[in-house]
Amino acid sequence: MRATTLRVWIVCWLILVWVLLWGTISAANILSGLAVALVITLLLPLPAVPVEGRLHPLPLLRLLATVAYYLVVSSVQVAALALKPGPPPLSAVLRAHIAVKSDLVLALAVNIVNLTPGTVVLEIDQARRMIYVHVLDVGSDRTVKRFYRQMTGLEKLLVASFERDADWRPSGKADPA
């Protein structure tokens, strides 16, 4: 039942995206969106992603608020760096360990880092849970320490939101590493 509900939701979502792309709600757009959604879901299915933990709403709200804060602060910092006269800021590739159990949560962590202005994940070592991040401003020890503090805080919030030990039920699938 859950799988069927999820497929119906995905088809409805794809129809909505199709209609929004065309910019007009019409029967033709809805029907063509349905055709495209069915082709995508039936002929190009995504592999099932195991959900092994449990969602905790309050830590999730803290995670969302923290990520929003990171986005605002990083945007202001990048704008200040862009407007500041002088040589470009010193940038580097930093390695960070993200101690999460699930590939799904690791992907979420990588997406959060990629969305944050001034940072881009260049490589993921899935087996060791290491990410290599290009950081725009590493001109001082303070900025490097802030990056690592943010990574540690992000990891703790992700674990609290999705991967508490008490709720963890491994899927039993072997790691593709």
Decide if 175 is inside a domain.
no
Beta-carbon count within 10 A of 88 CB: 10
Q: Is residue 115 part of a domain?
A: yes
Residues 22, 62 within the same domain: no
The better pLDDT of the pair 76, 170 is held by 76
* Region 115-144 average pLDDT: 94
31 with 96, same domain: the answer is no
Q: Is residue 174 part of a domain?
A: no
Average pLDDT score over residue span 101-121:
93
pLDDT value of residue 177: 44
- Do 80 and 146 lie in a common domain? yes
Owning domain of residue 27? 2-43
Binning the chain into helix, strand and coil, the percentages to the nearest 5 are 60, 10, 30
Tell me: do 125 and 159 sit in the same domain.
Answer: yes
In 3D space, the residue among 64, 121, 68, 127 whose CA is nearest the CA of residue 96 turns out to be 121
Residue 42 has pLDDT above 70, yes or no: yes
